[in-house]
Amino acid sequence: MEDLVESILDYIRADYTDYAIMINGEWGSGKTYFWNNKIRKKIDSMNFNGKKYTTIYMSLYGISNLEEISKKIFIETTQLMDKNLRKYMNQHKEMAIPEYAKTGLDMANLFGISANEGKIDYGEFFSTDDKILCFDDLERANVDVIDILGYINNFVEHDHIKTIIICNEKELSTKLKSNNLEMKTFIATYLLDKKGELLTTDKPMVEKIKDQIENVFDKANEYERIKEKLIGETFEYAPQFDYIINGVLMRYEADKEYLRFLKTNTNLIISTFNKSGTRNLRILKHSLKDFQRIYKMVVQKYPNISNRVMQTMLIFTIAVSFEIKAGKITKNKFVDIKNNEEYKSILVSSRVLMDNSQFYIKEFDNNYYYNFKADYKFFKFIEYYVRTRIFDMKLLKNDMDEIQKSLETGNIPAYKKLLTEEYWKIPDDEFLKVINNIIKEVKNGVVNLVDNVKLYAYFSYFINKKLIPYKLQTVKNIFIDGMNLASKNSTYCDNIDEELEKIAIDKNQEDMEDILREYYRLNEKLKEKLFSGLAEDIFKNIPMKMEIFYDKFDQNCMDVPIFKYQDPRLILQRLLFVSNEDLFTIKDKLINRVEKNGSKLIEEKENIEILKQNIDEYIKDKTTSIKTVMLKEFSKGLEYTLTKY
């Protein structure tokens, strides 16, 4: 690293240069930190041949036009920049500054300051041989890179100002090729068609379009041409991460307890960072900051937590941060995993039943937990915090309760052991005993419905492999009987397909048909039971407790077909006793609800039709009153909702 520093300083010391230099490195690898702490400090302290240098740093991140760069130069260089002037400039965005040599004079004139007032030493201000320009984040500018380099070339070629450009050339190359790709593809296709080459079979169409794009819109080559003219040397920034990471940890000197934990686990931090496959120190810094809050909260509320669990939390926080923030995955990869047990279940399924649908989870575990043994590897509260920036105390409690429970009991049910651990880890002389215990648990109805389906897939696999001495039909009957018994204490699952996709269950597999059919049937019964109870609990508040009715209806029924589960005649009887104002309010709620969620409410359509008929029948021979008019309007509202299902 010191060799790199000296090479850059040699460029600064050179009497005459007509080229810039480039520092190239990946995002977040510490290039800016390197400039500020290794290069800039040394340049600012240099005194070479009686000359003291002034560094001018500008980030091009988000710059949308070249005038903004000029404005940045003015802000950094002019002697006029007192606090009041900085405040003024921040409040007034109308200024446009052309180029370095004209900046001071134009801006001084803009503010009504003349040379006669003696406030500017123009000889010193326009001197360029002691200025060092540094342009950072070249690839993140919203201006064409070619235009920016041409702009910078004015300073380098004409004014001979020492200039350093910091960027990520890999991302720059991607940006040059991907800009306006749809438009480029359209024009390339049009040109190929005009030349009669679009449908020829000499090479694949995709390749022909790609070649045509490069031929017509080859910004990459244009970049290389101007780079060759402007950039004299390119230095690859390859930081010594171990050294830098140790420096990062020292940011927490004020939090001695947390720093002690980090220092003790430095090798774990470096190892996880390396496994991320990135060189992004920025993400690591953010993850350690996140973990500081996690560490303090967990230690405060659970002071007896084991060091092994805290180490695993550290690994998981860093790993999830890199996976999400480095763009390796979408944020939704972990959303549907509820807890550690489900995480382990997915892993076992992907390894035992060769389920490639969960390939990512398996690779994540193999990568970050390789050679690190831990019973608890997935923390929902951490995943949720990293993904949403919300620290959910309820999720923390759920995770910690599960950890504590696993430590206290020591023995988990046989069926959970099979679902969360690879079967080959069970000794041969114990395997059949575990299988028989699971059969007992299934028979006794202690296994919930969806786990029955998962277990049956394993048993079918074992029978096909001749690992257990049972006939498939016998096992199937045991599971169907056990599922019926278990359904008495099970809860409705509203995302069956998502649950089954987490493990290697082929819905078209003949062995699974009867089990899946029974599962869907029992789950539907649970749905009827759940929503019938919900309907009773909500509609009973009409007419005496309307505020409670509105609250519960808004919270639970906007996308649930609740009217399917209540007798329309009973609903009408209750509506007859509500105020006219409430009739109007309920009608509007039903219309708003069906306009937003009509497709989800289709199951209640029949009962809404019956309710409308009952209302129409009731008011048919009634004397006109405000109540009958409101009921008639309510009926019209129901008629409208029926068109929206």
What is the model's pLDDT at position 103? 47
What is the model's pLDDT at position 230? 84
127 pLDDT tier (thresholds 50, 70, 90):
low
| Interatomic CA distance for residues 263 and 54, integer angstroms | 38
User: Among 587, 574, 568, which residue's Cα sits nearest to residue 634?
Assistant: 587
Kindly report the average pLDDT of the chain as a whole number. Answer: 82
| Interatomic CA distance for residues 388 and 385, integer angstroms | 5
pLDDT at 71 over 90: no
Residue indicated by tokens 């995955």:
329
193 HSE (CA, 13 A, CB side): 6
Span 107-123, mean pLDDT? 47
pLDDT at 53 over 70: yes
202 pLDDT tier (thresholds 50, 70, 90):
confident
64 HSE (CA, 13 A, CB side): 0
Lowest mean pLDDT among 57-61, 325-329, 368-372, 590-594: 325-329
SS3 assignment, position 95: coil
What is the model's pLDDT at position 215? 63
8 Å CB contact between 474 and 516? no
561 pLDDT tier (thresholds 50, 70, 90):
very high
33 Cβ partners below 8 Å, 6+ apart?
244, 281
Percent of the chain scoring above 90 in pLDDT = 41
What are residue 56's DSSP bridge partners?
133
* pTM reported for the whole predicted model: 0.57
172 pLDDT tier (thresholds 50, 70, 90):
confident
Q: What torsion do the CA atoms of 386, 392, 398, 401 make, to the nearest 10 degrees?
A: 90
SS3 assignment, position 620: coil
407 pLDDT tier (thresholds 50, 70, 90):
low
368 pLDDT tier (thresholds 50, 70, 90):
very high
| Interatomic CA distance for residues 97 and 71, integer angstroms | 6
Strands of 11-50, DSSP E: 20-24, 47-48
578 pLDDT tier (thresholds 50, 70, 90):
very high
**What is the token pair recorded at 504?**
């290697």
8 Å CB contact between 266 and 249? yes
SS3 assignment, position 285: helix
Residue indicated by tokens 């405060």:
300
What is the model's pLDDT at position 94? 35
SS3 assignment, position 134: strand
Cis (ω within 30 of 0) for the bond into 568?
A: no
| Interatomic CA distance for residues 319 and 387, integer angstroms | 12
pLDDT at 126 over 60: no
Question: Which sign, positive or negative, has the C-alpha torsion 525, 531, 533, 535?
Answer: negative
What is the model's pLDDT at position 85? 45
Span 86-111, mean pLDDT? 45
Q: In this structure, which CATH number among 1.10.3470, 3.30.70, 3.90.1520, 3.40.50 belongs to the domain 2-176?
A: 3.40.50
| Interatomic CA distance for residues 611 and 432, integer angstroms | 58
116 or 512: whose pLDDT is higher? 512
416 pLDDT tier (thresholds 50, 70, 90):
confident
User: DSSP letters along 515-528, please?
Assistant: HHHHHHHHHHHHHH
413 pLDDT tier (thresholds 50, 70, 90):
confident
What is the model's pLDDT at position 281? 82
260 or 213: whose pLDDT is higher? 260
8 Å CB contact between 99 and 107? no
115 pLDDT tier (thresholds 50, 70, 90):
very low
Where are the domains positioned within the chain?
A: 2-176, 241-389, 428-528, 540-644
Alpha-helix residue ranges (DSSP H) falling in 255-392? 256-264, 266-275, 281-301, 307-325, 340-352, 359-368, 380-388
Using alpha carbons only, give the angle 191, 193, 198 rounded to the nearest 5 degrees.
110
Strands of 464-540, DSSP E: none
User: Among 229, 216, 185, 170, which residue's Cα sits nearest to residue 26?
Assistant: 170
SS3 assignment, position 131: strand
- Give the Å distances, CA to CA, from 499 to 124, 338, 354, 413, 449: 72, 11, 17, 21, 11
What is the model's pLDDT at position 550? 95
96 pLDDT tier (thresholds 50, 70, 90):
very low
Q: Which amino acid is at 578?
A: V
Span 107-124, mean pLDDT? 47
| Interatomic CA distance for residues 72 and 67, integer angstroms | 9
What is the model's pLDDT at position 547? 95
**Gap between the terminal Cα atoms of the chain:** 68
**What is the token pair recorded at 42?**
């040394």
Strands of 64-184, DSSP E: 131-136, 162-167
- Give the Å distances, CA to CA, from 524 to 243, 387, 403, 490, 507: 59, 33, 33, 12, 18
Lowest mean pLDDT among 90-99, 360-369, 537-546: 90-99
Question: pLDDT for 264-316, tens place per residue?
Answer: 999 899 999 989 887 788 889 999 999 999 999 999 999 989 999 999 999 99
**What is the token pair recorded at 281?**
């120190």
What is the model's pLDDT at position 291? 96
Supply the Cα-derived Rg of the chain in whole angstroms.
35
411 pLDDT tier (thresholds 50, 70, 90):
low
What is the model's pLDDT at position 212? 66
8 Å CB contact between 556 and 531? no
What is the model's pLDDT at position 81? 47
What is the model's pLDDT at position 160? 83
516 Cβ partners below 8 Å, 6+ apart?
453, 505, 507
606 HSE (CA, 13 A, CB side): 5
**What is the token pair recorded at 565?**
């589960």
Span 101-128, mean pLDDT? 48
Question: pLDDT for 237-261, tens place per residue?
Answer: 876 667 677 778 888 999 999 999 9
495 or 595: whose pLDDT is higher? 595
Span 161-175, mean pLDDT? 82
User: Among 287, 273, 277, 276, which residue's Cα sits nearest to residue 244?
Assistant: 273
pLDDT at 380 over 90: yes
412 Cβ partners below 8 Å, 6+ apart?
406, 420
pLDDT at 235 over 70: yes
pLDDT at 404 over 80: yes
pLDDT at 485 over 90: yes
8 Å CB contact between 546 and 578? yes
